Structure formats: C-alpha cells, structure tokens
Structure 1
Amino acid sequence: MLTTLVLIKSYSGNLMSLLAVKYLPQPFQSLQDVIDHRSVSIIWQKSSLFEQYIRTAKSGVFHEMARLEKEGRMVFHKQPQFPWSLDTFVRRGRHVLADADITITNLIARDYSATGRCDFYLSRDGFFPYSSSLISHKTDPLIQSIDKWVLPLIETGLVRYWMESVPNYTICDSPSKIKVHNEPFSSSHIWIVYVLLGLGLGAGAVVLLLEIVTHRLT
C-alpha cells in the first residue's frame, strides 16, 4: 500500500506538471544544427552579402554550408518572396529561413497577425554580424551630412525602433515551454494508471493462486 501510494502521488504530480507546462521542440538553434540534420534545407536571401560570403568562405561553418547547395539542401529566394517562403516551405517543417533577426521577427509577427498562432521561432544563436547602411560614391559631398544625421539615429536606437514598429512584434518571443490552462484530460494522459491497476490486480491474483496451491499442498 505504501509503494502504491508513493507511485500514485509521484505520477499525479508529474501528470499535473506535464499538463500545466508544455515543452515546444526547437531543434534548430545554429547553422551547424541545420548542416547535421540531413532532412532539412535552408533558404537564404538571393543576391545578398550572405550569399556572397557563403560562396567565398574557405573554412568554417559557412564553408560547410556551401556544400549544401550541391546536395540540393540550400536555395536562394528574393526578399519579397520571404512571406511566401515562410508560409509554404518553412511551415511544412522541411526548410529553415536564414536572414537578419529583424526581418525574421517581422515575418513571424505578420504571420501571427494573419493566423493568430505562433508557428515559428527565432534561433537563440546568431551567425553573422549585420548592419544597415546607406551607400554612396566616396566623393559625394552629402556623405558628411548623412553621417551626421544617421549615426545619432542608429546610436539612440531609433532606426531599430522604427523597424520594429510592427503589430505583434514581440508576441511570439516565447521560451521553449509555455503554461497551459484548462487542459482537458484524455486516456493518453492517464494510460499508466490503467497499466499500474492491471499489474496490481494481476500480481494480486498470482499471490492468491499461490496461497491456494500452497494451502492444498500442505
């Protein structure tokens, strides 16, 4: 009885914890994770600095990433295609999308606004430093004026603030576990209770038969 009580209390505690907190699988947190997972392909921005860097890398993870193109596991899409890429290729679970974190978060926010669900996540690891800038001819007399006004905007965070001013921008910034309220019970949640009950009844029946047989033999 004491053993049964301990098992019941332990299982009920674990069951309530499982129903109250769900762990969301987030297997891809780095480029190396994508390289090692042979059933997944990666989408990069076409005609970008990322594409150029991957194609010219001589060693390291980006050099390994370049080999994925020969295996048919790396594709390049233009940035205007990204919402479609996210809604089709990435949503099916066979592709990941690599780009600047602001771009990815904007796409996730817009998808949440359209569907009401957080179906995607942003990796914890970054893979490439990236900054926005204006490009002009080096003899352009406006360069000094542009630097004078743009640099303070970047340093104060206004540029990032403007880029992040998208509805539901942070609503999908959830950890790998979430709290769940009013989760309904089902047989899949408490199957082990029936297993323990059956084992207990079976063990009791065996002991009863042994007692009967021993009593008759003696």
Structure 2
Amino acid sequence: MLGLWMLTTLVLTKSYAGNLMSLLAVRYLPQPFQTLEDVLDHPSVAMIWQKYSKNEEFLRGVQFGMFREVADLEEKGRLKFHTQTQFSKSLDTLVRTGDHVFVDIDTTVKNLRAIDVSKKGRCDFYLSRDGFLPFSSSIISQKTNPIIKGLNPRVIALTESGIFKYWLQDVPNFTRCNNVPKKVALSTTLSFTNLWGVFVLLAGGLAAGLVVWSLELLNLPNKKSSWKTT
C-alpha cells in the first residue's frame, strides 16, 4: 500500500511540476502559410480572393501552372470570391477560425489587419513572407483625351514621390504588426485553477489513509481473538 501510494504521489507531483513549468515556458506562434504552395498542399484550408477584380479575371482564364491549380480549387469549395465590402466580416469570422486565408494585394491585407488591430488591440493575423500578386494602379482615359500628355508626367511624379503609397497606408496601426514575433514568453499568475492538484493530492492521501486506518481497526478484534485461541 505504501509503495503504491508513493508511486501515485510521484506521478502526480511530476505532472503538477510540468503544468507549472508550462505556464512560464516560451510559446511558439505557428505561421504555417508562407507560400501559395503551402495553402495548396493543405486540404482543409480555403482561399478568399477579391470578387470582380483583375485577379479573379486572371484566375478564370489561366490555363496552366500554379494558378491553374488555384482556380481548380473552386470546384472543391476551397476557393471563394468576396467583394471588398465583405472583407472585414470574412476576416473576423472565416479567417479568424484558421480554415481560410486571404489572397490579395499587400496594401489591402495590411489595411484589414490594421483595422482589426484598432478594434481588438492585438495582432491576430500575419502576412506571408512571399508575394504572389503584382500591384498596379492607373488612371484610365480615352486615347484621344488631350489631358493625357499633361497627366502622365504628374502621375509619374506622384508615384515616385511615394504619395500614392502614403495615401494607401494612411490607416491607424498600419505598421504595428509588421514584425510579429514567432515566439512569446508568457507568464500566468497562480490561481486555484493552477493549484487544484495540490489540494486533490492532499485530500486523496488523507482519504486513503483514513480508509486504511479504518480497515486496521475493523481487523484488530479478529487478530486479538486469534492470539487468545493459540
């Protein structure tokens, strides 16, 4: 009985010590999707692309290569097209659950993340290291429009000065989550939920001892009678 109790105590003590150490351990934040191939190879993750965009048109017409594989995912239910007005809701529901990813231009995704950070106060999303789509913006007019000659150099000057990029990034918390750490040291304050094992161990030991002591008392008269008989 004593050996069994010592073995049980040892196992519970080691488990409890490991639980306390895990509260102070370094936790790694997973970032599994860094390339488009990572998403393609994951059978349970769907992509969200912008609806009514040049990217959707490109996927509809691509004939071979990696983007052809992406387009084929629509038949499997792993490719969805949402409008920009749906992006915020999709981010807060589908992407937050971990089974959807956004594929769009860098600025759009960062704007969505910045808005979410302003609401939640924390960085819940990360951007992949690799880029998949080119970004292009332009002003479209008729070929015979006389203002084109004067507009072109001004647009080039604004682009080279970075004013377009500044306008697109003029969102609060736009750069707050650019360098999200992959590992974070977290410490949790001790509470009853962390210490309940100590009390269970103490109560279990007292209960087991009480049961053994009661059995010894009940068995004591039988021993005395056996002594007198002999």
Q: Which residue of 2 aligns with 1:52?
A: 57
Q: Which residue of 2 aligns with 1:28?
A: 33
Q: Which residue of 1 aligns with 2:149?
A: 144
Deviation at 1:174?
2.5
Secondary structure of the residue aligned to 1:25 is coil
Q: Which residue of 2 aligns with 1:165?
A: 170
Q: Look up the equivalent residue of 1:98 and give its one-letter code.
A: V
**Alignment check: 8 A CA contact 1:45 1:77 kept:** yes
CA offsets 1:49-89 (integer angstroms, 9 cap, x no match): 11111111122110100110011111101112111111111
Q: Which residue of 2 aligns with 1:96?
A: 101
CA offsets 1:10-49 (integer angstroms, 9 cap, x no match): xxxxx79x94643210111121111111101101101111
Q: Please provide the CA RMSD for this pair.
A: 2.3
5+ residue gaps, structure 1, are 1-14, 188-218
**Judging changes above 3 Å, is the alpha-carbon distance between structure 1 residues 160 and 20 closer, same or farther for their aligned structure 2 residues?**
farther
Counterparts of 2:86 and 2:68, CA distance in 1: 25
Are positions 1:116 and 2:89 aligned together? no
Counterparts of 2:116 and 2:86, CA distance in 1: 14
Counterparts of 1:158 and 1:21, CA distance in 2: 41
**Alignment check: 8 A CA contact 1:29 1:125 kept:** yes
Query: Computing the radius of gyration over CA atoms, which structure comes out larger, 1 or 2?
Result: 2
Q: Which residue of 1 aligns with 2:81?
A: 76
Secondary structure of the residue aligned to 1:44 is strand
**Judging changes above 3 Å, is the alpha-carbon distance between structure 1 residues 160 and 21 closer, same or farther for their aligned structure 2 residues?**
farther
**Alignment check: 8 A CA contact 1:30 1:123 kept:** yes
Q: Which residue of 1 aligns with 2:221?
A: none
5+ residue gaps, structure 2, are 1-20, 195-230
Q: Which residue of 2 aligns with 1:87?
A: 92
Percent of pairs with identical residues:
52
**Alignment check: 8 A CA contact 1:25 1:176 kept:** no
Deviation at 1:175?
3.7
**Alignment check: 8 A CA contact 2:28 2:183 kept:** yes
CA offsets 1:163-191 (integer angstroms, 9 cap, x no match): 1111111111134424436454797xxxx
Counterparts of 1:60 and 1:153, CA distance in 2: 36
Q: If the length of structure 1 is used for normalisation, what is the TM-score? A: 0.73
**Judging changes above 3 Å, is the alpha-carbon distance between structure 1 residues 63 and 111 closer, same or farther for their aligned structure 2 residues?**
same
Counterparts of 1:56 and 1:84, CA distance in 2: 28
Deviation at 1:157?
1.3
Alignment size in residue pairs: 174
Secondary structure of the residue aligned to 1:69 is coil
